[in-house]
Amino acid sequence: MAYDIQKIRSYFPILKRKVYTKPLVYLDNAASTQKPIQVLKAEERLHNDYYGNIHRAGHYMADKSTIDFEEVRGKVQQILNSPSREEVIFTKGTTESVNLVAYSFGERYIEEGDEIIVSEMEHHSNIVPWQLMAERKKAIIKVLPFNDNGELQLQKLDELITPRTKIIAVAHVSNVLGTVNPIREVIEKAHEKNVVVFIDGAQGIQHTSVDVQELDADFYAFSAHKAYGPNGVGVLYGKKSLLEEMPPYQGGGEMISEVTFEKTLFNELPYKFEAGTPNITGVIAFGASLDLLKEIGIENIAAWEKGLLDYATSGLKEIEGLTIYGESRNKSGVVAFNVEGIHFYDLGMLLDKMGIATRTGHHCADTVMQHYGIQGTLRISVGMYNTKEEIDLFIEALKKVIRFF
Amino acid sequence: MTIEEVQKQIIEEFSIYDDWMDKYQYLIELGNELEELPPEDKNEQNIIKGCQSRVWLVAEFKDGKIFFKGESDAIIVRGLVALLLRVVSGRTPKEILGNELFFIDELGLKQHLSPTRSNGLLAMIKQIRLYAVAFNRISVQGG
């Protein structure tokens, strides 16, 4: 089936708007994607028809909301091919998912002197929670480096893993370099030595199919808002055997089965990790974006986006003095670059004036910037609804902006 | 000229540009003309780190007036720094503390002062005021 780009774009009315009188070219999808009408309608339907607090009360509205909420858990289970729904936990976003694991896994498994490996290309969200835990537990953070092409130096993992290594945290796809990391190999190597692996899938799930069973992933986290869903919803997939042993992250409603002042009995999975009233609206609306991903097909989206990324990359390479950061063979979603002699802030600012939304700065990945000895980059990131015509507009605008200086 | 008059003069100068491109072209020109700080002044003490661009600010208190020098690694920000310095440098602390900076807003360049832009400019303005407060105390005590 051909990729019906016009139909897909019609789902996102915002794409028709203009900024500063110029047609919007939205190339900041790695920061957040736009929301399709299906998601907006699901939110509206909930609030017009049947909103109620979930898992509580025995009335029609609460029951209907609960059913829909739990149905989305099933959809997430499906997209990840998780063996059971108990292993799918809803959070606020990827960041909270990392914090949850860093805290609860740390409490259960990390002793003084234990080691945690993070890769050099991680987003701050997949570094800082581990540092906080390491500080608390007097554990040690070790770094798995990447080469100048932006590829993880996997061979170094063998020497990095010691008997004290407890967990490895690595991104599925880098938010700056675009590298699709060989997470299956990382997991294989780790599991040979009984080390657990946490995958940050914030840039993964929307660009490539994920099968946690095939990967044998211990943890996989992602955010709804980068996958055409609403803000404030994230997912943590975790293996039941681990989640069951880990203590709760936060206390509150829903996560308990019985409370006395002497002792509290915790609820079973996944509710043990879902304290308080969750983002009911967000989760239910997220179901609509998961349906859309399924309807179009992640493979089809991936192929379309690869076409865009290759097209943009070759266009960029024709520009004199332009350096691309991250030239891994297996790349997805983003291109980060600088133009010699021009600050990325200036480029991004003027592109914005021409209707092109890009991202500038360090992209919350200081260690990647340090690797290349730079302060930041300009970054474009594509989504399912971008077109080659938009890439043309971007390249043309970029050339015009460069002539400005 | 008072701080207010200089700001009005800048607004007047920009008023001939009705196109945003010309406006930015002029800002870039101003940025290019801004004298570079000597390397020894570009130190950790004088840097104002934004996650987008960096700004350096140096202050010297002489004869009751504060003389500012500044720079940025982004040229548009440099242009704005040049304008800011034109407004506030060589003024007494009281003048700085007693005046609002309205010209950036009036020029339609307010987005550069948005906290989310994080280009160091907003922090620079705050720092200018902090210098004014500190030197004001010195001049009151000393005088």
Q: Do the domain assignments include residue A214?
A: yes
Residues A70 and A166 reside in one and the same domain: yes
Q: What is the CATH number of the domain that holds B108?
A: 3.90.1010.10
B51 lies within 8 A of chain A by CB: yes
List the single best residue of A28, A340, A343 to mutate versus B (max B Cβ within 10 A).
A343
Which pLDDT tens digit goes with each residue over A236-262? 999 999 999 999 999 887 787 888 888
Residues A59 and A183 reside in one and the same domain: yes
Range of the domain at B55: 3-140
Residues A89 and A16 reside in one and the same domain: no
For residue A55, pLDDT over 80 is answered with yes
Residues A317 and A277 reside in one and the same domain: no
Range of the domain at A278: 40-294
Cα distance from A150 to chain B (closest Cα, Å)? 22
Residues A220 and A198 reside in one and the same domain: yes
Domain count, chain B: 1
Residues A243 and A322 reside in one and the same domain: no
For residue A71, pLDDT over 80 is answered with yes
Which pLDDT tens digit goes with each residue over B78-134? 999 999 999 999 999 999 999 999 999 898 888 887 776 677 888 889 999 999 999
B28 lies within 8 A of chain A by CB: yes
The angle subtended at Cα A363 by Cα A357 and Cα A365, nearest 5°, is: 165
Q: Do the domain assignments include residue A265?
A: yes
Q: What average pLDDT does range A143-155 have in this prediction?
A: 97
B40 with A308: CB under 8 angstroms? Answer: no
For residue B143, pLDDT over 60 is answered with no
A182 with A146: CB under 8 angstroms? Answer: no
Residue finishing a domain among A279, A294, A309: A294
Q: What is the pLDDT of residue A252?
A: 83
What angle separates helix B75-88 from helix B20-33, to the nearest 10 degrees? 70
Q: Do the domain assignments include residue A35?
A: no
Which residues 328-367 on chain A approach chain B with CB closer than 8 angstroms? Answer: 342-346, 349-350, 353, 360-362
Cα distance from A378 to chain B (closest Cα, Å)? 10
Helix (H, G, I), strand (E, B) or coil at A331: strand
Cα distance from B44 to chain A (closest Cα, Å)? 15
Residues A73 and A218 reside in one and the same domain: yes
Residues A237 and A89 reside in one and the same domain: yes
Residues A89 and A180 reside in one and the same domain: yes
Q: What is the CATH number of the domain that holds A90?
A: 3.40.640.10
Domain count, chain A: 2
Q: What is the pLDDT of residue B116?
A: 66
Q: What is the pLDDT of residue A116?
A: 98
Residues A282 and A302 reside in one and the same domain: no
B124 with B55: CB under 8 angstroms? Answer: yes
Residues A339 and A231 reside in one and the same domain: no
B32 lies within 8 A of chain A by CB: no
A342 noted as active-site residue: no
Q: What is the pLDDT of residue B88?
A: 96
With CB atoms and an 8 Å threshold, state whether A346 touches B73. no
Q: What is the CATH number of the domain that holds A12?
A: 3.90.1150.10
Residues A285 and A368 reside in one and the same domain: no
A265 with A75: CB under 8 angstroms? Answer: no
